[in-house]
Amino acid sequence: MYNLITLSNEEMKKHVMDSQHPEKPQRLDKFIQGFNIFSEKNNFKCKFVKSEKIKEEDLLIVHDLHLVNVVKSISLQGGGVITWDNVLNKHTFSSACYAAGASKQAAELVSNNETEKALAIVRPPGHHTNFSTVAGFCFFNNIAIIAETLVSKGFSKIAIVDIDQHFGNGTADIFYSRNDVLYYSIHAHPAYAYPGRGYPFESGIYDGMGYTVNCPDLPKTNT
């Protein structure tokens, strides 16, 4: 009996912005290595599954067609730059589709009662990309795809807990006016850290009022 199904794919490592860039392919290796050590020490039985690439039309559950086409076309042309921190090579679109695919598969495994827990180990990351704009090393919003997939399966109460150093402005934007997805973020204070958002008063609008919860930490705060 497996405690967890984990999804990933080596194809995600083909996206490279720069050899010295902090968001690099080795992050995937380090996470998997650390997870394996944890599993062995805790007798945690995990099944690894090679994830599949998401279908392009499935990206449209959280992104507009223009964003998808821009990332795809620049990749197919061999790479380029969208923003100063979103550099693409010829593999970027494919790698991002594998990351989004692993995320969607993880949601479907849980919603179909094939496992109680699923973990998607992915890159490039996604929480700075909103409906129509890439940002912060992110291209497609993987966690938003998980949440929206679960909503489409009939789940009505979903919580996203984001503990990245930076506020996930893209994820917050996507669900900012909705009450079926709670976005809870602990991050470095926006007065000192990218993206300069994530204050406590940013709590949602309309039906989503109160469903965005931000807990910014000042520098040198122990959490």
Catalogue the active-site residues. 128
Which residues, other chains included, contact 217 with Cβ-Cβ below 8 Å and sequence gap of 6+?
186, 187, 188, 189, 223
Single out the residue of 95, 93, 99, 97 nearest to residue 72, CA to CA.
93
Paired with 87 in beta bridges are 81
Q: In 54-213, where does DSSP find H-type helix?
A: 65-76, 92-111, 142-152, 169-174
Pair of tokens at residue 162: 């984001």
Gap between the Cα atoms of 143 and 140, Å rounded:
9
